[in-house]
Structure 1
């Protein structure tokens, strides 16, 4: 039978970024950090009930191919489980805010990016431009090759992509806190994520994210982000801390890290079988 002409190919609408919509509506969304860097574990965790899953490209051993595999695993598991609008939204944390890497990560299908170490509004504005097609930005046009457009099956992708991208930036230094109001006010920045570990080091308290001065700075930062009309986010691996930051106004909160969950569960299991009830000591980041 004859092949379809390009203009006769089936066309579908670009998926809406429900995570971005929920943040804009002021909803709280609960997430989990993925540091195991493997599609198999990402697939398992897709059905756990989180609103979003963070694929970490900064401190986990991920590259573009492993990020792609995890995006595919989350998508296929969400479909297989019939999660629909309840499917966890994949967020990709880049190792650095490089325009070429941003382009590649968007092209493989990520709609939401988290960029670390954003210290100034000028950096934030440059990141916004890197995530947008012209005339709003400088993202290179290559949707015919891109999973993001399902290889042009999304007929409106080029027109819809700028609207659906969600940009989250990390404020995690004293310099960033000094520019926080302007960073949060940057058009195109959807949310600001506070990094407790790096912030504590920048403030002179390395390894002490629970230091009273650090906690006070985080509390103030969340309030300032919310006053700017943007979503505030944070990672808290201890339940009490997560509840504290949620009460303070954090809107997108990661409740744990898969590597820590695995190591803690394994240690708890072996402790139940040891005569002394003890397992080898495990360390907590104390976020």
Structure 2
């Protein structure tokens, strides 16, 4: 007889049971080894990125397998809200999905439909072939799939900020994630995430989500900025990436060991 299996808690469940903001980092290198090293760090979450990295289905699968031995919760970002791509991500076992560039409630509804089986959605049925159901070793997967998946959408444009309450109110959206970099660009302040207008747009979105009782997270690689957002009430925050940690640490190593003056340069912080 095959072993009957179950799924680990979703990010939705982790947030519901948390008594503090959850803290995580990005895995953008595409490396299962890096993912496993970071999975054992004690952080709450890892965000495996399929939008701004060279990740493929195969590398994401390998990273999920490496992470699965640890209690950390993986969140995976798709490159675009495409039902075909989302179907493939879910079938390889992604439980916690982040969809970028969601500007309207209609965009959010499309994301929800993509993660749900008919008649509630449009997700293709292939559970017998998929890691998501552990190849039909999870009893009742087709009927209970919604309980094993949490869905988060990115607020990262001026339009999305204006529509944030409507986006968060869409049935099936478990929370929103604010992307300050793209938000700054959409507001005409490319590379200026700390611009007062951008900062206020971020803060107003956090307040709106808190008022609505919706989970809200943010990307903030500058420690002071991350702490400010925690004080504003975010429920989860991503504070670094594997590639940024390696870049900054290797620069510090060079500065400490190479002769001569090391000129200071401003680095993109997130």
Range class of TM-score, shorter chain: over 0.9
Count of residues in Structure 1 that have an aligned counterpart in Structure 2:
269
Show structure 2 runs of 5+ residues with no match.
Answer: none
Give the CA deviation at 1:113.
0.5
Alignment of structure 1 residues 6-25 onto 2, 5 Å: 9-12=2-5, 14-25=6-17
The answer on whether the counterparts of 1:264 and 1:282 sit within 8 Å (CA) in structure 2 is: no
Kept in 2: contact 1:237–1:285 (CA 8 A): no
**Shift of the alpha carbon at 1:269?**
1.3
State how far apart, in whole Å, the 2-side matches of 1:262 and 1:277 are.
22
Tell me, yes or no, if the aligned pair for 2:10 and 2:96 is still in contact at 8 Å. Answer: no
Are the aligned partners of 2:10 and 2:149 in contact in 1 as well (CA < 8 Å)?
Answer: no
**Does the C-alpha gap of structure 1 residues 36 and 282 become closer, same or farther in structure 2, counting only changes over 3 Å?**
farther
SS at match of 1:53: strand
**Counterpart contact for 1:26–1:231, Cα < 8 Å:** no
Q: CA deviation at 1:16?
A: 4.1
User: For structure 1, which runs of at least 5 residues remain unmatched after alignment?
Assistant: 1-7, 79-86
Give the equivalent residue in structure 1 for 2:139. Answer: 155
SS at match of 1:272: helix
User: Is 1:209–1:286's contact at 8 Å kept on the other side of the alignment?
Assistant: no
Q: Tell me the TM-score normalised to structure 1 length.
A: 0.89
2:194 alignment partner, one of 210, 213, 229: 210
- Which of structure 1's runs of 4+ aligned residues deviate more than 6 A? none
Which residue number in structure 2 is paired with residue 233 of structure 1?
217
1:88-130 CA-partner distances (Å, limit 9, x unpaired): 1111101001001111101100100111000000110111111
Please give the root-mean-square deviation of Cα atoms over the aligned residues, in Å: 1.5
1:89 aligns with 2:82: no
Partner of 2:64: 71
Paired with 1:282 and 1:161, the residues of 2 have a C-alpha distance of 48
Q: Secondary structure at the match of 2:218?
A: strand
Q: Give me the whole-angstrom Cα distance separating, in 1, the residues matched to 2:267 and 2:152.
A: 25
TM-score (norm 2): 0.95
